[in-house]
Chains A and B, each alone.
Chain A
Amino acid sequence: MEIAIISGKGGTGKSIISAAFATLIENVVLADCDVDAANLYLIFNPVHEEEKIYIGGHKAVIDYDKCSMCGLCISYCRFEAITTVNNKITISETSCDGCFLCTRICPENAINMIQNDKSRMFSGSFRNGKMVYGRLAPGEENSGKLVNMVREKAKQVAKENGIKMIILDGPPGIGCPVISTITGVDKVVIVTEPSVSGLHDMKRTVEIVKKFNLNPWIIINKFNLNNEMSRQIENWCKKHKISVAGYLPFTSQIVNAMVQQMSIIEYNKNSEISKTLGTIYNTIIHE
């Protein structure tokens, strides 16, 4: 079974909940799909068994020995990546989308495409199973393709090791990486928090999950920060026939566990919050 934990807004507690789920049962594959800011390895410190280069795309580079300054490339580039700076054709690395059009139309063959090969995918073992995660090099386009690579690897590792549960810690937002995370999963959990922005982002996230014909589960994290807002979220969910899997309180124990590099379950198995997480997990798995 594949469970994806997502949230429209960052910082709602996706990784904390993923870490808790990953230590509630024996033997899981944990995949960190937040390739832009992977964090779970900080808690579980996995032993790397495999590292793969991820080619994120290409960037155009000018060969000034060949460039005749005709400027044809400028007129063709739709990403406004090519300009003239001090009488020199210049390509902005951050604006180039890697479409190859400039290379193809340059009459002097003066533009080459260079691969972005600084992003990585790691896979290995941690104390409760296997872990897979990606690290996108700073500044590269946040691509769902690396998420796909992480998920494929997670499935392969699960199969090879006879592991039945895959937990996907998703990226924030509603774009391509989130879509890559939830495509084809069995269950989607949306973590939200009781704030005006939390509710707003949750609505956008529910919309995207519904497009995949999935019925998401909602977890309201830090519910006690604003009980009135928690009720509003609950009512909205009821109205839209979406199930609230449970409520988690704000507690500094969560931060303390993180500092000790433990999930909350490992840190204090008998705490109220750990018990609640256990109940939530069982609800999600069995219903």
Chain B
Amino acid sequence: MMKIAIASGKGGTGKTFVATNIFYSLCKNNRSAMLVDCDAEAPNAIAFFDVNLVNSDDVSQRVPVISSNACTYCGKCHDWCNYNAIFILPPVKVIQVIEDLCHGCGACVVACQYDAITEKLVSLGKVNSYLLNGVVSLIEARMNIGVMSPVSVIKAALKKADTMADFIILDSPPGTSCPFIQTALAADFVILVTEPTPFSFSDLKQSVETLKKINKPFGVIVNKAGLGNADIYFYLEKEKIQLLHEILFDIEIAELYSTGKIVAETKQYLEIEFYNMIKKIMRQYGNSDNQR
């Protein structure tokens, strides 16, 4: 089994386009594959497939509930809370939990010597499993609106995706912060999707730095090639980064994609190119059995 994450520093470079089309190409070539949409803030992958929801698991977090009867207003829970999630005014006997700020670490529960704190579960989002042609092949992390961080929901989706499929394609959230790292860490190989524009180039450098830091093998797909300038190619050559593939800018691709179609279905050359690319990556980096 091999896990491949599709990522990019910047949004809108074509991560979901590449992830969904690779997944399609693998299925088309009779390889068992699963697609995990880890972009919990804006999951879109399911829009491209005719899928049925079979399972929806709630992802929750514990938050404290403080009993005002048992509380002595000693303030220790407030001192131990590193997220300023407990508001206390001892003279007037007011203590309140600001749930939006709570990270669910449990420090307040340990701090309280008067058994005044219990916990309840608060929903952060869902991990949805979808059937495609009779097999569970799509997993989606979907964070509730306004939740502090998507990381817990992404982690739950990654756990759910540990199956027997030969290939697990992870559609990563954008950026180089925690949500991206959690996704990249779970992969054997990372494909960075970029565009030959100054914005994308800047974000690519940031992603490369991050992946080098966590020692993750990676390669680059240049999408919308032909637009912008050549800076990105000089950089790849200088840094000896593998250029996995180039997708020429084609307004028809943008049009097909915008209607929610799998582009490789119409443009079969993409199916062949993507499948060959994955086979090559598998030969070079496969079978590492990344455990997470």
- A97→B103 contact, CB < 8 A: yes
Which residues does chain B contribute within 8 Å of A12, judged by CB atoms? Answer: 11-12
Given contacts A99-B82, A208-B146, contact A197 B44 (CB under 8 A): yes
- A142→B178 contact, CB < 8 A: yes
Given contacts A94-B182, A139-B176, A204-B42, contact A175 B149 (CB under 8 A): yes
Which residues does chain B contribute within 8 Å of A172, judged by CB atoms? Answer: 11, 41-42, 174
In the bound assembly, the distance between CA atoms of A141 and B152 in angstroms comes to 12
- A10→B105 contact, CB < 8 A: no
A164 in contact (CB, < 8 A): no
A140 in contact (CB, < 8 A): yes
Count of residues in B whose CB is under 8 Å from the partner chain: 60
A208-229 contacts to B, CB under 8 A, are: 208, 211, 222, 225-226, 228-229
A261 in contact (CB, < 8 A): yes
B277 in contact (CB, < 8 A): no
- A11→B13 contact, CB < 8 A: yes
Which residues does chain B contribute within 8 Å of A211, judged by CB atoms? Answer: 145-146
In the bound assembly, the distance between CA atoms of A39 and B198 in angstroms comes to 9
Digit string of A90-105 for contact with B (CB within 8 Å is 1, else 0)?
Answer: 0000100111110011
- Which residue of chain B has its CB nearest to the CB of A15? B199
Digit string of B256-285 for contact with A (CB within 8 Å is 1, else 0)?
Answer: 011110000000000000000000000000
Main secondary structure, interface of A, reads loop
A198 in contact (CB, < 8 A): yes
In the bound assembly, the distance between CA atoms of A101 and B83 in angstroms comes to 12
Interface residues of A (CB under 8 A from B): 8-12, 15, 36-37, 39, 42-43, 58, 76, 78-79, 94, 97-101, 104-105, 136, 138-142, 172-176, 179, 193-198, 200-201, 204, 207-208, 211, 222, 225-226, 228-229, 250, 252, 255, 258-259, 261
Interface centre among A194, A226, A255 (most CB of B within 10 A): A255
- A8→B42 contact, CB < 8 A: yes
Which residues does chain A contribute within 8 Å of B227, judged by CB atoms? Answer: 252, 255
Given contacts A37-B175, A139-B210, contact A176 B149 (CB under 8 A): yes
- A258→B197 contact, CB < 8 A: yes
Among B22-30, B67-75, B201-209, B233-241, the one that faces the other chain is B201-209
Closest chain A CB from B281 CB (angstroms): 24
B106 in contact (CB, < 8 A): yes
